[in-house]
Amino acid sequence: MSILDTLAGSASPGTLYGIGVGPGDARYLTLRAAGLVRAVDVLAYFAKTGSPGNARRVVTPLVDSGRTEQRFEYPVTDEVPADSAEYQQKIGAFYRETAGTLASLLRQGRSVGLLAEGDPFFYGSFMHMWRRLVSDFPVEVVPGVTGMSGCWTRANTPMTWGDDTLAVLPGTLGEAALVDRLRLADAAVIMKVGRNLAKVRRAVEAAGLLSRAVYVERGTMADERIVPLADCGATGAYFAMVLIPGEGRRL
Ligand SMILES: C[S@@+](CC[C@H](N)C(=O)[O-])C[C@H]1O[C@@H](n2cnc3c(N)ncnc32)[C@H](O)[C@@H]1O
């Protein structure tokens, strides 16, 4: 690509890759994800203020020094309720600005790999970029091993047997909604536990499922913690989930 092409805007745009990096242990990256992490022109990632970024940390063993990186720092995470006007205004503005930065890199003809924890299309911030950019730029999404898959594997817990249904619930739901949905499912995964741990625990107990529930924090990572939900204490980590295995047909 020549500088004239770039100035005239006539160069082919770069491709945006949404790269699922899996649950935490770098060995769970797919071959496609690992290849792209090494090959893209710009390695981009989201991070909480003061943190290296979970997805970025996962790929550390694959990143040589001197790579071009683009960090996007969330203005808020879980300090403010996600349904508050403040959260929506700040995050909305942040996503618009981030999409603008990505668009400008892609217009320069550069390939950008935006890292996503687990799978990009499963509760991923990447989706907010995908929706803003997919009609104007080439986009490839690389699936990843989901966090829940990594967690139930490390907890050595088969989840769904025979005709079991599986509910995936955000811990941010209200307590009554959690209880209702837990009562309808045979097996359940409760994500985004963090500050919601006490409420989640009460809901699991009210649904009569506490004896089966397992708490998994930072599953597959070096500082992983796996304990029965009944024994896990009062404070949860952001990177934690609760697993309730089904008890369906066993042959
Ligand atoms: C914004 S969602 C991202 C989900 C991710 N895209 C996936 O495919 O798993 C973040 C939530 O995923 C869950 N999570 C993801 N990976 C995890 C892990 N390794 N251990 C525990 N929880 C995890 C936690 O509940 C966390 O609050």
Mutate which of 148, 220, 242 for ligand 1 pocket (most atoms within 8 A of beta carbon): 148
Total-model pTM: 0.93
Average pLDDT rounded to a whole number, residues 41-67 = 96
Average pLDDT for the chain: 94
Ligand 1 centroid to Cα of residue 81, in Å, is 18
Do 200 and 178 touch, CB atoms closer than 8 A? yes
Q: Whose CA is nearest to atom 16 of ligand 1?
A: 147
Q: Whose CA is nearest to atom 21 of ligand 1?
A: 240
Pairing of strands 112-116, 16-20: parallel
- Which pLDDT value is given to residue 236? 83
Provide the 3-class DSSP secondary structure of residue 178. Answer: helix
pLDDT band at 238 (very low <50, low <70, confident <90, very high): confident
pLDDT at 195 over 70: yes
For 139-162, the pLDDT digits (tens) are 999 999 999 999 999 999 999 999
Q: Which residues line ligand 1 (CB under 6 A)?
A: 23-24, 116-119, 122-124, 146-147, 150-151, 191-193, 216, 218-220, 238-241
